[in-house]
Amino acid sequence: MDFTMNLAVSTPPKRADKTADGTADGSDAAALMHEIGGGAKAAARALALANTAQKNSALAAMAAAIRGRKEEILAANALDLAEAKAAGATSAFLDRLALDERRIAAMADGLEVVRALADPVGEVTERWTRPNGMTIERVRVPLGVIGIIYESRPNVTADAAALCLKSGNAAILRGGSESYRSNAAIHAALADGLRAGNLPEASLTLVPTRDRAAVGMMLAGLDGTIDVIVPRGGKSLVARVQAEARVPVFAHLEGICHVYVDKAADPAMAKTIVLNAKMRRTGVCGAAETLLVDRAAAANQLKSLVTMLLDAGCEVRGDAATRAVDARVKPASEDDWSTEYLDAVIAAKVVDGVDDAIRHIERYGSHHTDSIVTQDEATAEKFLREVDSAIVLHNASTQFADGGEFGFGAEIGIATGRFHARGPVGLDQLTSFKYRIHGTGQIRP
Amino acid sequence: MDFTMNLAVSTPPKRADKTADGTADGSDAAALMHEIGGGAKAAARALALANTAQKNSALAAMAAAIRGRKEEILAANALDLAEAKAAGATSAFLDRLALDERRIAAMADGLEVVRALADPVGEVTERWTRPNGMTIERVRVPLGVIGIIYESRPNVTADAAALCLKSGNAAILRGGSESYRSNAAIHAALADGLRAGNLPEASLTLVPTRDRAAVGMMLAGLDGTIDVIVPRGGKSLVARVQAEARVPVFAHLEGICHVYVDKAADPAMAKTIVLNAKMRRTGVCGAAETLLVDRAAAANQLKSLVTMLLDAGCEVRGDAATRAVDARVKPASEDDWSTEYLDAVIAAKVVDGVDDAIRHIERYGSHHTDSIVTQDEATAEKFLREVDSAIVLHNASTQFADGGEFGFGAEIGIATGRFHARGPVGLDQLTSFKYRIHGTGQIRP
């Protein structure tokens, strides 16, 4: 994940008055959230039955409105930035919060990308005929109401809205307090699009309060109206959501991804994959955090892998065997095996073959994405079978852990849970299904 | 559902001592359950990697052991029955609890049926190649540890165990206190089978305590070791599980199933389907509980449908229009539209076409199984699209709501949730998946 701010930390002090910028007191917030939940539930029913053309015309109108309201959005963002600066926000935080012409254009383009994707709703994913002549179809239907809880990046408002809308789900968006005005300006543009598509405004609600109690109500399911929560933000936000949510959550807490270089690895391929998995982008959840090298490969591959990483500017924290190949390697502590650095740092260890590598990954990993480099098909097969992660790769970089790279077009995040959605969560994963049965008068004997 | 006993009601008073029949005090129970959770988690890993032959040989040995230990099982059951009788159990309750040679043979046969089903684990359900040459496969893997909480019927011990084992999941079984000895005798036979298949005994644990606190611990996820809970029993058990569980639950609370007879229905087909949907078996969750008749069909179909039901011994509770066709029809109250009778009783109402029928079903139904009888394809399509239930049928009886009738071979229950499993929960629905990616050195640009 790119985000490191904690929702709790980033929320300004609660105010007792109700103001134009959306602050409300606790009881007001409860009544307001109750109303939002009911509205979203009703809108979800309409959205589930909306046809593809309607949803696409709304998405096109949303993109146009984002472009058309660019000045408003930038003005709102400037106020958010000024407030955050005055509150002493870090430059990394301000960068996540800041919008410019390029970022606004990217939001509009993202809406068009989702518009161009196939509509999953109504897709028949299985069909079979029973001996009595009945035909059973498994058909995709929307999930219902999706609650999105996110932090400073205002683009999530548009990105998440697009995926929810295209998959026929209503969305309740609760963005970071520090991006409140930016989100509201973006939401106003999206609402233009809903009207243009003749879809209910409650299809997409931005929680109009900075009251932190709203998050707790969403995690409790908002009177049974929220079907799933998707958190978008740093580890502390995701941890809070996973701990407190009473409804399903699509998320991953961290990506402690491994690359295992087997004795039968092609040395050149191993170097290319390790460098890419760690260094292409260090802040993404699919970045490798631990390098495991087969003891039988250590003699002729460990030194070149480690030197390559160090020369590329990556700090290496290694076990004794790894430290022995280069004096620049720092000692790894027990904690390093379970740390998601999200930075140019890697833990490195020599293991006794694929079984030991699998044991290490199962013990310290986060069931996100893990890769083996080997020319031995049987060893690869063993690794792919026994490593219990959402994504397992053979001879490819862990940085492919991304809905776009899977061909999903766009994703709302990566899930490491075992239910419903696992790995990248794209449009298909935002749907449920029902069984549709066609008979000719069949009764059960 | 066939079950009506409440777990709370059917549990005998807690004892403070620890006895041979599995009663333990609260702190003992906590330590014991903690150990059971850890053991199941470790066994799940072994089971996930067990091959089909191993699982099948265990299932065959289980069936043989159930047959071989028949006398022991009957003797244990006799003790349970005597205790239940002494406690004043109803005859319906005693019937659910009672085993005989036929029921024991059915358990053994059930194990053989599951043995013969295809192993879902390892099945590749999707495969595609990316422009960069990487192949992505979506492969079925087990869910992990399944907690089964059930009531008086001892056969659930064997039936649930078989489905969990074949799908590579460990199971923690918590049966009704009143069937404790019967379950333990059946479990002993199943453990024989696990040994014969060289699978860990912790693959299948019967909670060896009648302490009710064990249920609460399971609903809390047993220290993160339980991945999903499947309740098997009456409405109050399912309601408690749904309200308290902190892990996913595969269940339905009730089946308020509708048959809508449209103006374009074939009258003879409508009669056949309505009679079968209501009267074939009245105690199953797929039994129809409400008949909706299109006002445009009432003139020539309502009287014959109602008379047929009354003549078949079914009580009919109707609205004014229905009462007008036969003096034997009793008045329906508002509650009747949302009552699951599980008996020879049906609520009946005249509605204004398919839209009104859909509105009624969405307002009062339980999103389980609903059927339309019509010769008009467009009307059928509208109904199948707009009724938001796990199973929607056109010109077929609601009593087909059953994993066996879907061709799943066996099921552990029917789910009305929207996540992961919806409708009959068979072997496939007891699996998760992972993405397996084969590359040739691909890195991400």
* pLDDT over 50 at A7, yes or no: no
Which of B399, B436, B440 is most worth mutating to test chain A (most A CB atoms within 10 A of its CB)?
B436
- Could you tell me if residue B176 is inside a domain? yes
The neighbouring-strand residues paired with A170 are A145
Domain carrying residue A140 = 24-244
Say how far apart CA B373 and CA B328 lie, in whole Å: 25
The Cα of B284 is separated from the nearest Cα of chain A by a number of Å equal to: 13
Interface of A with B in 166-205 (CB under 8 A): none
pLDDT at position B281: 97
Q: Do B418 and A435 touch (CB under 8 A)?
A: no
- Could you tell me if residue A149 is inside a domain? yes
- Could you tell me if residue A198 is inside a domain? yes
Residue B390 CB contacts under 8 Å (≥ 6 apart), including other chains: A434, A435, B252, B367, B368, B369, B414, B415, B416, B422, B423
pLDDT by residue (tens digit) across A240-293?
A: 999 999 999 999 999 999 999 999 999 999 999 999 999 999 999 999 999 999
Within an 8 Å CB–CB cutoff, is residue B15 touching chain A? Answer: no
pLDDT by residue (tens digit) across A103-141?
A: 999 999 999 999 999 999 999 999 999 999 999 999 999
Interface of B with A in 18-47 (CB under 8 A): 45
Contacts of B386 in chain A (CB under 8 A): 49
Residue A34 belongs to what H/E stretch? Answer: helix A26-49
- The total of structural domains in chain B comes to 2
Say how far apart CA B59 and CA B45 lie, in whole Å: 19
Least CA distance to B394: which residue of chain A? Answer: A438
Residues A228, A140 share a domain: yes
Residues B107, B79 share a domain: yes
pLDDT by residue (tens digit) across B202-230?
A: 999 999 877 889 999 999 999 999 999 99
Q: Model pTM greater than 0.90?
A: yes
- Could you tell me if residue A34 is inside a domain? yes
- Could you tell me if residue B445 is inside a domain? no
pLDDT at position B26: 57
Say how far apart CA B397 and CA B277 lie, in whole Å: 5
Residue B204 burial by Cβ neighbours in a 10 Å radius (0-12, 13-18, 19+): buried
Per the CB < 8 A criterion, the answer to whether A395 and B439 are in contact is yes
- Domain boundary at B195, B214, B244, which? B244
Q: How many CB pairs under 8 A join A and B?
A: 172
Residues A132, A77 share a domain: yes
Residues B161, B16 share a domain: yes
Mean of pLDDT over chain B: 93
Q: How many CB atoms lie within 10 A of CB A155?
A: 19
- Domain boundary at B378, B400, B422, which? B400
Residues A374, A225 share a domain: no
Within an 8 Å CB–CB cutoff, is residue B290 touching chain A? Answer: no
- Could you tell me if residue A89 is inside a domain? yes
Least CA distance to A407: which residue of chain B? Answer: B130
End-to-end CA distance of chain A: 55
- Could you tell me if residue A413 is inside a domain? no
| Cα–Cα nearest to A295, from A356, A337, A251, A340 | A356
- Domain boundary at A244, A270, A303, which? A244
Contacts of A361 in chain B (CB under 8 A): none
Within an 8 Å CB–CB cutoff, is residue B308 touching chain A? Answer: no
CATH of the domain at A45: 3.40.605.10
CATH of the domain at A296: 3.40.309.10
Say how far apart CA A200 and CA A133 lie, in whole Å: 41
Across residues A77-94, what is the average pLDDT? 95
Within an 8 Å CB–CB cutoff, is residue A282 touching chain B? Answer: no
Q: What is the DSSP letter of B112?
A: H
> pLDDT confidence of A21, banded at 50, 70, 90?
very low
**How large is the ipTM?**
0.92
Per the CB < 8 A criterion, the answer to whether A137 and A127 are in contact is yes
Q: Sheet holding B145-150: strands in order across?
A: B204-206, B170-174, B145-150, B228-232
The sign of the torsion formed by the CA atoms of A180, A181, A186, A191 equals: positive
Which of B128, B219, B400 is most worth mutating to test chain A (most A CB atoms within 10 A of its CB)?
B400
Residues B151, B286 share a domain: no
Q: Do B399 and A443 touch (CB under 8 A)?
A: yes
Q: Give the three-state DSSP class for B42.
A: helix
- Could you tell me if residue A112 is inside a domain? yes
Residues B396, B264 share a domain: yes
Interface of A with B in 340-379 (CB under 8 A): 362
* pLDDT over 90 at B134, yes or no: yes
pLDDT at position B71: 98
Say how far apart CA B163 and CA B171 lie, in whole Å: 10
b/e sequence A74-93, b meaning 16+ C-beta within 10 Å: bebbeebbebbeeeebeeeb
The Cα of A123 is separated from the nearest Cα of chain B by a number of Å equal to: 12
Q: How many CB atoms lie within 10 A of CB B257?
A: 29
Q: Sheet holding B124-129: strands in order across?
A: A330-331, A315-318, A345-351, A288-294, A257-261, A369-373, A391-396, B431-442, B135-142, B124-129
Residue A441 belongs to what H/E stretch? Answer: strand A431-442
Residues A267, A179 share a domain: no
Residues B239, B305 share a domain: no
Residues A189, A293 share a domain: no
pLDDT at position A210: 79
Which of A381, A400, A411, A433 is most worth mutating to test chain B (most B CB atoms within 10 A of its CB)?
A400
Within an 8 Å CB–CB cutoff, is residue B243 touching chain A? Answer: no
Within an 8 Å CB–CB cutoff, is residue A243 touching chain B? Answer: no
Residues B236, B195 share a domain: yes
Q: Tell me which residue has tokens 């109504």.
A: A122
Residues B280, B189 share a domain: no
Say how far apart CA A294 and CA A301 lie, in whole Å: 9
Residue A445 CB contacts under 8 Å (≥ 6 apart), including other chains: none
